[in-house]
Amino acid sequence: MRKDFYIFRHGETDYNQAQRWQGQGVDIDLNANGRQQAEVLAQKLADCGLQVIYSSPLKRAKQTAQYVAAGHNLEIRILPELTEGSVGDCEGMSKSEVAKKYPQVWDIWYGDNDIMDVRWPNGESKGEVQQRMNRAFAEMLLAKEKVIGVASHGAAIRYFLLQFGYGPHKMENTALFHLVWEDEKWILDGVNL
């Protein structure tokens, strides 16, 4: 059995533009640029044969999914496990504020390492985000559809794909990845499509 997953990060928000962390606790709409990015993403995905879209419950992901679904009569299914990683006490803070307030965590989180148990105060670890995303993909594998869109978030996608060899810390809004499940194994077939 083969299943194709087209995984995409949401479009830009004002918090993205201001380099402020949203995490799970800041739930705001796409900005004008984010809506335009979502329209471009929808065009990229127009010929992929999507049959359904699963989305994080957060507005920025749902709105991006709505742009992709528009005109194709695609159902959007909300899957809470696809939500962004929790950055706990850092939600709403700027990146520079976080780096200054928590320099030791910052250095480990963004260091060249595979330490998966590091976490921000009252937030999730990279490993917990990855495990949650693994549960989401296990659930989506049970769906009858064979070509699935997935609307999620930067950290959630990054730490899920880390186990398949993808690992940069920077991910553009509406970054697009193609992940294939075939012969009982995952293959990362396309990055930043």
How far apart CA 127 and CA 115 sit, in angstroms, is 9
3-state secondary structure of 151: strand
Choose, from 72, 153, 169, 178, the residue flagged as catalytic: 153
- The question of whether 10 is a catalytic residue gets the answer yes
Choose, from 10, 72, 169, 178, the residue flagged as catalytic: 10
How far apart, in Å, are the Cα atoms of 85 and each of 49, 56, 88, 150, 163? Answer: 29, 11, 9, 16, 16
CB 30 within 8 A of CB 12: yes
Q: Report the run of H or E that residue 3 belongs to, with start and end.
A: strand 3-9
> Both tokens of residue 131?
């495990």
- The question of whether 178 is a catalytic residue gets the answer no
Active centre residues (catalytic): 10, 153
